[in-house]
Structure formats: structure tokens, C-alpha cells
Amino acid sequence: MHELVYANKTPMSYRKEFGQFFTPKNVARLMFKWIVSSNPKTILDPAFGLGIFFDVFQDTLKSNTYDTKYIGYEIDQNIISYLENNRPSNLKLHVRDYLEEKKKKYDAIICNPPYMRFQNFLKRHDVLPIIEKNLGIALNGYSNMASIFLIKSLKELNEGGKLAYIMPFEFFNTGYGKGVKKELLKNSLLKQIIFFENEKDIFSDATTTVCVLLCKNDSIKNTVKISRIESLKQLEGISHFEEYFQHQLQPEDLPYTKKWSPIISSLYQTIEIPTGLVKISEIGKFVRGIATGANKFFALTEEKAESLSINRNNLVKCITKSPQIKKAIFTDDDYMALLKSGSPVLCLNVKAHNDKNIKQYLKYGEAQGFSVRYLTKKRSPWYKLESRLPAPILAGVFNRGRLKVIRNFTDSINFTCFHSFYPGLFGQTYINRLFVYLISDIGQKIVMTNKRQYGGHLDKFEPGDLNACFCPSTEQFDMTSEKDAMHIIELAISDEEKAIQKANVLVQTMLNT
């Protein structure tokens, strides 16, 4: 139904509001082959969109005769208007929200659900209790829309019915994903996971790494097939998804309480975790950076602070954006260069509440609505920030290729652009050696086994992901000296590539490999 025409005419901002990205037809065909093989009498498409799955259905009618009802749901008025003059007679399209519908049963379900956070769904407070009541299950309010669509669809699958869903790969690792994975494993519904290594070649406008889930409600305990598709050419050579796979896992190998991405990724990785390693949480703890709720208000340049006559006692040094740090070692000289260049690396941290200049700036912030934002309105007073010490090690939240790791030798705190590492009681001695490990190639490879994957080869880490990563034990760190680590750090100031090479040698000594 001309998805490309619609996409070209519709602003990306509008499509993001509805969580829309469209399904390549070759993927849609393979998904449809899965669900139609059981000769369904009813097919549900919970997020109809411009009808790519229905197009495939229409194509198959030219060579096959199906006595099948095709039912779709869609709420985007732009799409509804577009379809009004093009709606086929054999399509029952409901102009309603699928999530608000009472539970029904279908022989087959196929879907590319909306990709947006459920928190951004304006009616979520009204809809969530309805969904929970209809399904008889408690849902996590932090779920994304796709996950809630999937859970509802799993509950609506007839005995012997099949389901094919496109999902963001990230839900395998999230807290809310536990409930989704539990439903997938219940009664052995999940049969296959297909993920795409270079998703931009196939899903050109996707903003997250995607996978396809194939399910069947047959209560037969099978292995779960795992498929990786690396290119569009490879995809074009596949006739049936279920016949193309590289690995099989027992359902118990995919516990719903564990993150699935590392389990699946390990099937395709040659790296082995060396013996003796411990979790980073035994050395210290990564926590998220400071969330101000209004960076534009709190982050100031030196020039702006002076123009507002804000005393330095009410300001703290702060890294406010990831690109501000370009090297692995961050020093006072680096900070001063940022400050003098006009970067907003001063953070408002009010101490003199009665200062007239502070009062005037706070009044300006309130007039601009900064005081009633999601985070600020929960604080008392609204401008009070979290109390944080400068962190000696910073780790990038979003990364491409390598995890961005910074040894911070300044007294700068940081916003949420970085996660902050604070050593534990026994970890203080090993800060520099931990940093050396994290910039080494083997450290990077081990840490990357716990990443979350997004579109365009963008990786994300939450603090818990980093804390659960493996690093040398204190005994292994003690195989090297503080002097060795400092030598590498000093080298990294001028030649980061050589420092990494030296770090590789030092880490080999730690691990005795």
C-alpha cells in the first residue's frame, strides 16, 4: 500500500510520535509464510500501518485460495485517511486502539508494533489498568509499547496458532523485559529468534536493532532456534525462516531472569571469559550521572555565569556533554580549555539561596517552566541537585565500536552523558589498573558482551550492565603494580594507541595468559 510514498510525505517527527518504522517486503513475506503454514481462519494485524502484511496476503491469494478473515487495527488518522480510498473489501480494519480492545482469539497474528516508550503514551494511565484486567497480568509501566502489544497478542493466540512479531532487540536486556520473556517461554510458545547483524541494510529507517520472534501455541517443548542474518543478499536467499538457523538453545538456556543478548551474542563470539575474573561490582560501582531535568537551565558557560553575576560558590565544574571529552585522560588543563572555549561546563548548585542574583535566575527558570518538569517538580526545592563527588572513571552511555572510558583527574562532576564509577572500600587501590583493563582490547571485548544494541551499530550501557561485567580480581590486579598502570596513563595523554597496546600486555600479565 505504498509505504515509501507515505514515508516520503510524512515528517520523521510525526512518524516517531507514533513509533512508526515500516517493514521491508521480503521480511514481511517470510513472516507471513510462518503464520500461514497452519491454514489459519483468522489473521490479526494489531498495528496495521500501511498494510505491508496485508499486501503479502493479497499476493498469496493470486496463487492460493484462503478462506481467511484478515483483521487489522490502526489509530493513525493520517494512515486511515490514506487508506479510505484504497481499502479492499476482504479487509476488516478497526479504527481503534488494539490495546484497549477486549481479549479475543485468533489463529494467526503478525505485527510490526509501534516503537515508543509506554511512558510517552498519553493515555497510559487509563489504558494500563484496562489491559491488565483484560489479560489477567500485571504489566511494568516502564515497558515499551512493542512489548505490551506482544504480551497481549501472545494471550490471544488460539491453540495451534502461530505468531510472528518484529521486536526491538533491547527488550532482551531490560527489567521490564523479564515479564515479556516469561510469557514467551510459558507453554513453550517461543520457537525462533531471528536477528539482523546489519539492520540498516534491511530496515533502513529503524532506530533500534530489531529481531523477529516466531511463536506457536502448541505446548510442545522444542529447542529455540537462533538465526543471524548479516545482509540483504543473505536475506533474499532464504525461503523459510524456520529452515534457516545456526544454533539451537534449550528453553532452560534462556532463563527469563537473565539478559538474553549476551547469551545469544556468545553463540557467535569466539571470546572466552578468562577464569578468576569477578564482577566489577566487587571492586566498586557504576552509577548514572546527575539528572538535572533541565540541562539548558543548569549548565552554564563562564560568560553566562558572569553575565548573571552568579558567584562561583554556587557553581560546580561539570561535564555536561559526551563530546566535551575527546581523549581517554581528562585533566585540569583539558577542563580549563573547555571553559575558556565557551563550553557549558559550569553547573548551577545553589548554596546562597538568598543571594539576589540567584533569586533572579531561579525566578527566570520558573517563568520558563523549568521548575515543573518531570524531575524538577519532584524535588524540594525544585533546583536542588543530587550530591555527588567527582568520579575517577567515566564510561560512555552510548558508544560505537569501543566503550568510551575516561580517567578523570579533575574535580568535575558529570551529567547523564556518562556513567560514574566509584570504588568500594578495597577498590580505591585499583582505580588506575581497572581503567587500564577497561581500555585494553580484551577488557573491551569482555565488557561488550553485556551491551544493549540499537540501530546503526549504536551500543548502550546502563550502570547495571557495567557493574555485571567481568574484570580482574584484586589478586589478579596485584600481579601488576600501580607504577605500571600510571606509566600507561601518562602515555595515553600523548599516544592513546600505544597506551592500548601497553595495556594489552599488562592485562595479559594480570590474567596470566
Q: CA-to-CA distance for 401 and 403, rounded, in angstroms? A: 7
Asked if 328 contacts 496 with a C-beta cutoff of 8 angstroms, the reply is yes
Indicate the fold that domain 3-266 takes in CATH.
Answer: Rossmann fold (3.40.50)
Residue identified by cell 556513567 is 419
**Is residue 103 within 8 Å of 152, Cβ to Cβ?**
yes
pLDDT at 403: 95
* Residue 84 confidence (pLDDT): 62
- Beginning with the edge strand found earlier in the chain, give each strand of the sheet holding 42-45 in spatial order: 91-94, 69-73, 42-45, 106-111, 157-168, 210-216, 190-196, 224-229, 247-249
- d(C-alpha 77, C-alpha 52), whole Å: 17
Where does the chain hold its CATH 3.40.50.150 domain(s)?
3-266
CA proximity to 510, closest of 474, 476, 487:
476
Q: Where are the beta strands (DSSP E) in 74-183?
A: 91-94, 106-111, 157-168
R_g of the chain computed on alpha carbons: 26
Q: Please tell me whether residue 464 adopts helix, strand or coil conformation.
A: helix
Q: For residues 53 and 32, what is the distance between their CA atoms, to the nearest angstrom?
A: 7
Cell reading at 105: 482469539
CA distance 174 to 392: 27
Strands (E), 203-265: 210-216, 224-229, 247-249
pLDDT score recorded for residue 460: 86
Residue spans of the chain under pLDDT 70: 1-22, 62-66, 78-88, 116-128, 130, 134-143, 198-208, 270, 453-457, 513
Share of the chain above pLDDT 70, in %: 84
pLDDT for 122 equals 47
* Nearest C-alpha neighbor of 174 from the set 470, 460, 402, 447: 460
DSSP code for 262: H
**Side-chain-side CA neighbours of residue 443 (13 Å):** 28
Q: Which residue, among 450, 462, 403, has the nearest Cα to 262 in the 3D structure?
A: 450
The Cα 441–Cα 417 span in angstroms is 23
Strand order in the sheet with 413-414: 299-300, 346-348, 315-319, 413-414
Q: pTM for this structure?
A: 0.65
3-class DSSP state for residue 186? helix
Q: Answer for the pair 390, 421: CB distance below 8 angstroms, yes or no.
A: no
